[in-house]
Structure formats: structure tokens, C-alpha cells
Chain A
Amino acid sequence: MSDQTRGTGPQAQYLTVNLAHEEYGIDILSVREIRGWTPVTRIPQSPHYVLGVLNLRGAIVPVIDMRLRFGLAREEYDATTVTVIVTVAGRQFGVVVDAVSDVIDVASDAMRPVPDMGTTVDTEYLKGLTAVGERMVLLLDADKLLQPQDAQMLEAALAANDVKAVA
């Protein structure tokens, strides 16, 4: 069930997911598994888009809501809501999306740069976009989803707090 996009360069496969009526592609090599939505355990003092952690065969894996991550309104989770587990730089995390739809082949020269506006999503999370027939697919940069700078900034802030608040 894979659609071929026109192009001749090296191919990469993307899993496409639906989010607020748009279609996003996640590099299939970073996708571990796709599972139905199951409740997670909330973690205190986390950004609002981090829903919590779930038990993935013994590993504790954080789950983020992609809608909240991109500043969209939260939707009720329903039967098609899925958690896509991805591995980036040795870390696993889950991404909650509205639904998964397809696997597409994208040739490297069929990937277009992202124009600066026109999408609901901050372009910083995008690698590029491509067209599959009439559909436009936004290719996500999975590395940036659970942004390290978030964690770093937080830690730096806490450390500064530590020093000030002595005695």
C-alpha cells in the first residue's frame, strides 16, 4: 500500500499520520511500533505536551501529544487515536496522533523545502514537504520533537535556582 512519489534520488520511507486534517510523515526507520492509545501516568513538573509515561515492555517511555506540542487544540482521544513509538538518538518516546494513514516512498529530490508560512506547525520541526498525488505531506524532523533544549533550559533554570535558594 505504498504510493510512489515521482523522483529519482535515493528513496526513504515515511509513515504518514493525520493531525488536525493535515498529513505528516515520520521517517519509518525511527518508528518502533504503533499502538492504540492507552492511559499514561502523568509526570509532575513536565511541559504540558508531555502527557506522561507508559510501560513499553518494561521500559519507561514518555509520551507527548503532538497536537499540544504544535500548539493545537486538544482533541478527545477516540478509537483511531494512536501512539507512535519512535527512537531518536537512543531515546524512545511515544507520539500521540489522530490516526496513522499510510507508508510512502519519498525520493530525496522529491522533498521540497518548507515555505516559511502556511502551515499550522512551527516550521522548525519540519524537514521538508512532499506531494503524494494531490496530498501534501509534511515531513517531520523527529529529532526535534522531544526537544533537548527544553530539558536543558529547564535544568539550567533549576540549577540557578539551587544556588540562589541556599540556607
Chain B
Amino acid sequence: MSTISIAQFHKVFFEESLEGLDAMETALLALDEGGNAELVHSIFRAAHSIKGGAATFGFPEMAAFTHEAESLLDQVREGRRAVDKVIVELMLRTVDCLRGMFDRAQNGQPLADAQSEALKQELAAAAGHSAPAAASKAAAKSTASSGWVIQFRPHKSMLAGGNEPLRLLRELAALGQLNVEALYDRLPVWEALDPTECHLGWRIELTGSATREAIAGVFEWVEDECDLSVEPLATAAAAPVAEAVAAPAAANAPSGNARAAAASSNDAGSVRVAIDKIDGLIDLVGELVITQAMLDQFREEFDPSRLALLQQGLAQLARHTRSLQESVMGIRMLPIGSVFNRFPRLVRDLSQKLGKQVKLDLVGEHTELDKTVLEKIGDPLVHLVRNAIDHGLEIPEKRRAAGKGDVGTLRLEAFHRGGSIVVEIVDDGAGLNREAIIAKAVQKGLITNGDNITDEEVGELIFQPGFSTAAVTTDLSGRGVGMDVVRRNVVDLGGSVAIKSRPGAGTTFTITLPLTLAIIDGLTTSVGDECYIVPLVSIVESIQLPADAVRTVTGGGELFRFRGEYLPIIRLHEQFGCANARQKIEEGLVIVVESDGAQVGLFIDELVGQQQAVVKSLEANYRRVDGISGATILADGSVALITDVAGLIRMQSRRKAA
């Protein structure tokens, strides 16, 4: 069946259309803030390709629906209708509705529902009101209100009767301005196509002063060989819908299976890769093959005199392998803009609902992130943005009282820092409500009293699971709803969340994410008989401390002075229980590491070397281990564990508190 073969393109169609919808939404929001003609064109184009695709791939309900939106957009595009809030609102709802349709299409459910039908009527009505204006352009002003929509579906046998549809269309054209759309939803598969039969239908918009009788006259000879409906233009919009829905329901019965098939293959996911990335890969593989051939020669005729060549070949191999690895990783990298794009809409809707004025700044949309990271960072970001608007930014009156402008600013910024991607969510709202948070924490038994708590620790409190209850939302004017979930999600990605807040001046959330989950640069260290890898990104400096540089504080902690600050020392051999490790500070090394803005010194025996580590999960076959983020395989085939610096720091502070 052709429907099966078409079904394999469904996924591409869905993906493209969803991208199109995103583009439409972005353009609509820009339009809302005063846009130009180009924006309208891009919205129109997006709607048009969705309509075309929907008709081609057997989603007539979607095509009919989009058609209404397109008609309305067409009027805007041709300047017959001004862009106003009403249209933008209507189109935004259309975008949402289409998203819903795509959802249902992917799950093989019926596309149209009450909501989409209602919205379709609304769109038709909106387009219909100005339809007269459309006519006025085409024909004389006096006849502006007249026009017809003709739905013409010849029976298969019509051609055999000697009737030529083209002739009929020409005759109609004589009656006024024609806008003809072919209906090809009844086209059979190629093998089943009988060229002597007529499979096409037409939807004709006739604007002009023609009477119903005149139109009937044109179709006089084919009346009993076709399905014909003639409706006045203004009210016609709804009419083709019913037919379009009914007709394909019969014609496209098998497409249900096809949709189910498409839905089942949805999970795999796909990445669009720029062609130059692929070309780069092919080049590299070519180089690798050449190097391999070169090395192969040595196998056949080994001669010590050519050792230099062998070394050269191996160096080349190492270089190519590394570039190949980087290129392959590059394929998974996508700009964070695809996640940022959903925020203008979210911010607009939320701020309207809450009566706040919010200006959203997006910076660094082109920063690239691993696809897996990108997919999982969306929800935490939405959560943070929602919180910032809900709890952080104030209503205009309050802002004025605080001496700030009416419009609050929310900035999302992504940038590279070292080997990580940093995403900042900055608002200029009220900041954290310190007193309320402390009160809540005391009540929850998380802390005993709030006297000696620094602002940082207050920020830390809202990440506690206890703060995610509904009661907090109402008791507390600060934020903290589900922040533990946000943190957990980010930590699962190998990242970290830090919070900075100044009362009255706003709050900054800083999310640090690894560029990729698969490979890290690490420093191999030995501790006793064992070997641990410390991620290079978290290392600030390695130093050797003299014995007298370490101060012991009451309570058991060890501190040392580093760049004017006292940092705690974590003895890795104690933390991990390693045997035969060096005990004296002056005999080993201290690596200053940083995570979440906190620094500590890791006491180890020796540095062994630097290497790239392919991160393997411990959890796949075992379970999570505190202080260990994963494992990797060393050159000799043995396993080395990778330290989780953020986790170690957390363990340290936990121990300090206990």
C-alpha cells in the first residue's frame, strides 16, 4: 500500500512541521512586539508548508484546519488586514491547536476535536469578515460581497463521458476571479492508478458577481457525474471541512495503520546534521584509512630502520582518532536556541496571567550542547523561568515602590566556560525572602536557628526536598517549589546549580553543564594502591603544601591557605578508604578543585598523568556510589573510577554539619 510507503515520511513531516510551528510561534511573538512584513511572510510560509504536507501525507483534517489559518494570514500578508493583538492571539492558539493535532497524529488518534473545530470556525469567521475586502481588490467594489466556494469532485467515470474538467474551469474563469485548489486525497497508489479515470477534485473560490444559476450552468452537463457543492463565500469556510473530513475517511481508511506504524517508530529520535559536519567526517575517515594502510605495511615487512616512520604513523593515527572523536561528538551538538525558543511564549503567557510586565532577554542561543543534555535541560529551565516570574519578579506597583522600572527583566544566557556550558537565569526581582525561608527551615527541622546562616546557605536550603511541598508556595513569598527536582535533574546530567540572590536586586541561577556526557579530560592520580581520575574542568591548581601550612580546626577539619582564603582539605584516601596511602601532607599533593563556587583541596599521593576518559556508568550494572561519578577504562584495560568533585564537596559539608 502506498500509505505504508508514505508513512515512512510521516516522521520527517512531523519534525519539520513542529519546527515550522516553533518558527511560527517565534515570529508571532516578535510580531506582537511590532514586527515587519518579513515576519508575516515567514509565518505564512510555515502555515503553508504544514498545510501542503498535511494534505500530502493524508491528514486532511489538519490540512483543512491549517487552510483556514492560512487564509487569514494571506489577508494579513497582502496588507488587507492589520496585525493586531486579536490576530496574534488567535494565531498563537492555532499554533497550540496544531501542536495538539501533531501529538494526536503521532499517536494515531483522530486529529480533529471539539477545540480544533471551534477554533477553525473562529478562524473562518475572522477571515470571513474581511473576505469582502478580498473581493474588493479582485473585482469592483460594488460587487464586493459576492463570491462562491465551489467544491467539485468528478466521479471516476467522468472522463469517459467526454467531459473535460479543465474546460469547466475555463468556463468558470469567465465568470470571475478564480482561486483553485486541487483535492488529491483520493489519488490511488501508482500501481492501482488507472489513467483513464479521474481521481482529482477541486475546491474553487470564485469571486465576482456571478449568480448561482450561472455556476450551475457551467456544471449542467456533468451534474450527475460529480459531487458538487456551491456555497456563498463568506459562510463557505466551514462547508469544505465536513466534506474533507467525510470523504477521506472513506478513501483513506488504511492510513490508520500507517499512522500507528509511524507512531511506533517515534521513540528512536533523530538528529539533523549539517552537511559540512558529515563531509568533515568522511574526510577524516579517509585519512584514517590511509594511515591504517601505511601502518599495515609494517606488519608485512618489518624493518627496524623504518622505526621513525612507524612512530610517525602512530602519531598520525592518534591525531586522526582524536579529531574523529571530536567530529562524532560534534554531530550530537545542537544549539541551545532550540530550548530557549519556547520561553518567549511561556513568558508572555505567564506574565499576562500574573499581571506582571516582563522583558525577556535571550543571549547566546547559538551555544551548542549535547543533544541528550539539551533534551533533559528543558524542563528544569522551564521550572526556573516560571519560578522567576511567579515568585521573583514583582508586580508593577511593587516594583515602582522599590524604585525600579515597571518592566522586570528576565535574562537567559548561555555561554562556554572552560569545558562546560553555563546557563544563567537572571531576574531583577525581589530576591529570596531570607526570613521566610529560615522560618520554614526551622519549622521543618532542617536547621535549628537562623542566626549564623549565610546567604549562600539560605540559597542552599531551597534545594532541599522539604521545600517542595505545596504549603511552602503559599507560606513563602520566596521561591523553592520543586527546586530539589531541578537540582536532581541537573546533577543527573553531571552538572550543578548555584544560586545567588540579593534582596531587592534579584536572583541569579547558574546552571553548569558538561559539554558532553561521553568523554571528559581527566587527571589520573594515585592514592595508595589505587588510581582515581579527577575531571580537569574542576581543577584549579595542584600544589605541594609544607607540613606547617595546614591548620587543624576543632572538630577535626583541616584547612590550608590558598590565594588568601582558607580551604578545607579532603583526604581522598580517608574518604574512599584506600590502603597504603601517604599520610603526611608534605609527602603528597593537594589538588584545589572547584564546584558550585565552592573550593576544596583534595589530598592525593601523586599525579600520574592526563588522559581523556570515556565515561562509563557504574549504575548500569551496579549502583551509584557517593563521590564517584563513573568509571573509565585505562590503556591497560583496567578500570579507574572518576571522582565526582561536587559530590565530594557535598559529602564534606555534610560531615562538617554532622
Contacts from A to B (Cβ < 8 Å): 39-46, 50, 52-55, 58-62, 91-93, 151, 154-155, 158, 161-163, 165-167
Across the A-B interface, the 7 shortest Cβ-Cβ residue pairs: A44-B576, A41-B639, A62-B622, A165-B654, A167-B447, A60-B631, A151-B623
Q: Which residues does chain B contribute within 8 Å of A165, judged by CB atoms?
A: 654, 657-658
Chain A proximity of B440: nearest CB distance (Å): 12
Known: A41-B530, A53-B622. 7 other contacts (CB 8 A): A41-B638, A41-B641, A42-B530, A43-B628, A44-B577, A166-B446, A167-B460
A161 to B655, CA, bound (A): 10
Q: Which residues does chain A contribute within 8 Å of B641, judged by CB atoms?
A: 41, 43-44
What is the 8 Å Cβ interface bit string for chain B, positions 470-505, against chain A (1 contact, 0 not)?
000000000000000000000000000000000000
* B453 (CB) vs chain A CBs: closest residue: A167
* A159 (CB) vs chain B CBs: closest residue: B465
B620 near A59 with CB under 8 A, answer yes
From B446, B460, B622, B638, contact of A55 by CB (8 A): B638
A165 to B628, CA, bound (A): 20
From A44, A46, A59, contact of B621 by CB (8 A): A59
Q: Which residues does chain B contribute within 8 Å of A50, judged by CB atoms?
A: 622
* A50 (CB) vs chain B CBs: closest residue: B622
Residue B464, interface by CB 8 Å: yes
Residue B637, interface by CB 8 Å: yes
A155 to B623, CA, bound (A): 9
Q: Which residues does chain A contribute within 8 Å of B618, judged by CB atoms?
A: 43, 53, 60
Chain A proximity of B1: nearest CB distance (Å): 37
Q: Which of B517-532 contact A (CB under 8 A)?
A: 530-531
Residue B625, interface by CB 8 Å: yes
Q: Which residues does chain A contribute within 8 Å of B575, judged by CB atoms?
A: 44
Chain B proximity of A18: nearest CB distance (Å): 25
Chain A proximity of B402: nearest CB distance (Å): 29
Chain B proximity of A30: nearest CB distance (Å): 14
Residue B309, interface by CB 8 Å: no
Q: Which residues does chain A contribute within 8 Å of B638, judged by CB atoms?
A: 39, 41, 55
- What are 28 A-B contacts with C-beta separation under 8 Å? A39-B638, A41-B631, A43-B618, A43-B641, A44-B577, A44-B578, A44-B625, A44-B628, A45-B576, A54-B639, A55-B633, A55-B639, A60-B621, A62-B621, A62-B622, A91-B620, A154-B623, A155-B623, A158-B626, A163-B465, A166-B446, A166-B461, A166-B464, A167-B446, A167-B447, A167-B457, A167-B461, A167-B657
A68 to B105, CA, bound (A): 56
Residue B126, interface by CB 8 Å: no
A40 to B617, CA, bound (A): 16
Given A40-B639, A41-B631: A166 and B447 interface contact (C-beta under 8 Å): yes
A62 to B658, CA, bound (A): 31
Residue B412, interface by CB 8 Å: no
A60 near B639 with CB under 8 A, answer yes
What is the 8 Å Cβ interface bit string for chain B, positions 456-468, against chain A (1 contact, 0 not)?
0100110011100
Given A44-B577, A46-B625: A167 and B530 interface contact (C-beta under 8 Å): no
From A43, A44, A58, A163, contact of B622 by CB (8 A): A43
* B466 (CB) vs chain A CBs: closest residue: A163
Residue B588, interface by CB 8 Å: no
Contacts from B to A (Cβ < 8 Å): 441, 446-447, 453, 457, 460-461, 464-466, 530-531, 575-578, 616-618, 620-628, 631, 633, 637-641, 654, 657-658
Chain B proximity of A144: nearest CB distance (Å): 16
A162 to B657, CA, bound (A): 11
A93 to B530, CA, bound (A): 21
A53 near B631 with CB under 8 A, answer yes
Q: Which residues does chain B contribute within 8 Å of A162, judged by CB atoms?
A: 654
A14 to B38, CA, bound (A): 73
* A62 (CB) vs chain B CBs: closest residue: B622
A93 near B625 with CB under 8 A, answer no
A40 to B631, CA, bound (A): 12
A55 near B461 with CB under 8 A, answer no
Q: Which residues does chain B contribute within 8 Å of A91, judged by CB atoms?
A: 620-622
Q: Which residues does chain B contribute within 8 Å of A54, judged by CB atoms?
A: 639
A61 to B633, CA, bound (A): 12
B625 near A167 with CB under 8 A, answer no
* B631 (CB) vs chain A CBs: closest residue: A60
Among A44, A93, A151, the one with the most B-chain Cβ atoms within 10 Å of its Cβ is: A44
A39 to B638, CA, bound (A): 9
* A40 (CB) vs chain B CBs: closest residue: B639
A161 near B654 with CB under 8 A, answer yes
A166 to B461, CA, bound (A): 8
Chain B proximity of A165: nearest CB distance (Å): 4
Q: Which residues does chain B contribute within 8 Å of A155, judged by CB atoms?
A: 623-624
Chain B proximity of A59: nearest CB distance (Å): 7
Q: Which residues does chain A contribute within 8 Å of B457, judged by CB atoms?
A: 167
B640 near A41 with CB under 8 A, answer yes
Chain A proximity of B524: nearest CB distance (Å): 13
A53 to B637, CA, bound (A): 12
Among A151, A155, A165, the one with the most B-chain Cβ atoms within 10 Å of its Cβ is: A165
A92 to B622, CA, bound (A): 8
Q: Which residues does chain A contribute within 8 Å of B640, judged by CB atoms?
A: 41
Q: Which residues does chain A contribute within 8 Å of B441, judged by CB atoms?
A: 166-167
A53 near B639 with CB under 8 A, answer yes
Q: Which residues does chain A contribute within 8 Å of B622, judged by CB atoms?
A: 43, 50, 53, 60, 62, 91, 93
Chain B proximity of A95: nearest CB distance (Å): 13
A163 near B464 with CB under 8 A, answer yes
A91 to B621, CA, bound (A): 5
Q: Which residues does chain A contribute within 8 Å of B658, judged by CB atoms?
A: 165
Chain A proximity of B437: nearest CB distance (Å): 11
A60 to B575, CA, bound (A): 22
A136 to B620, CA, bound (A): 35
A61 to B622, CA, bound (A): 7
A60 to B614, CA, bound (A): 12
Q: Which residues does chain B contribute within 8 Å of A45, judged by CB atoms?
A: 576-577, 625-627
* B446 (CB) vs chain A CBs: closest residue: A166
Chain B proximity of A31: nearest CB distance (Å): 15
Q: Which residues does chain B contribute within 8 Å of A52, judged by CB atoms?
A: 639
Chain A proximity of B529: nearest CB distance (Å): 9
Chain B proximity of A52: nearest CB distance (Å): 8
Given A45-B626, A60-B620: A163 and B446 interface contact (C-beta under 8 Å): yes
Q: Which residues does chain A contribute within 8 Å of B628, judged by CB atoms?
A: 43-44
Chain A proximity of B656: nearest CB distance (Å): 9
Chain B proximity of A41: nearest CB distance (Å): 4
* B650 (CB) vs chain A CBs: closest residue: A162
